[in-house]
Amino acid sequence: MSVNVTLILTTVPDVAVAQKLAEDALAARLCACVTRLGDVQSSYHWQGAIETAEEVQLLFKTSAARALELERYIQAHHPYDTPEILSWQATASVAYGQWITAETQRPLHV
């Protein structure tokens, strides 16, 4: 038995941006957990040239009900003009999936 959850991956330019994006998304209950996957080197086409950049990857775990809102939040608060926002459905163990659902439904404690 399992529970459906949504995973969202993004890359940001540095640890400070990663920390802020993660903390604010957690505070807003848009996700239950954010894992900083670490430093990566990305190569990509940008404005007619091939660029290479050191970046930090973040993996957000959220409920299907909050996924679109989280994607919009990342888009609005991301420093890049065209941020990488990849989303996919996954199955989680019942306990972990229920925890994600509960944490993304709980009201803010402000």
- Please give the span between the terminal C-alpha atoms of the chain, in angstroms, as a whole number: 35
Q: Can you give the pLDDT at residue 99?
A: 96
Tell me if 105 sits within 8 A of 63, measured CB to CB.
Answer: yes
pLDDT in tens, 11-63: 999 999 999 999 999 999 999 999 999 899 999 999 999 999 999 999 999 99
Kindly list the domain boundaries of the chain, sorted by start residue.
2-105
Beta-carbon neighbour count of residue 92 at 10 Å?
17
Q: Identify the band that residue 82 occupies on the pLDDT scale cut at 50, 70 and 90.
A: very high
- Separation between Cα atoms, residue 1 and residue 90, nearest integer Å: 13
Q: What pLDDT is stored for residue 110 in this prediction?
A: 42
pLDDT value at 108 more than 80:
no
Alpha-carbon distance of 17 to 77, in angstroms, equals: 10
| CATH fold label, 2-105 | Alpha-Beta Plaits (3.30.70)
**Which is more confidently placed, 110 or 42?**
42
Please state at what angle helix 15-27 crosses helix 67-77, rounded to 10 degrees: 140
Q: Return the pLDDT at 107.
A: 66
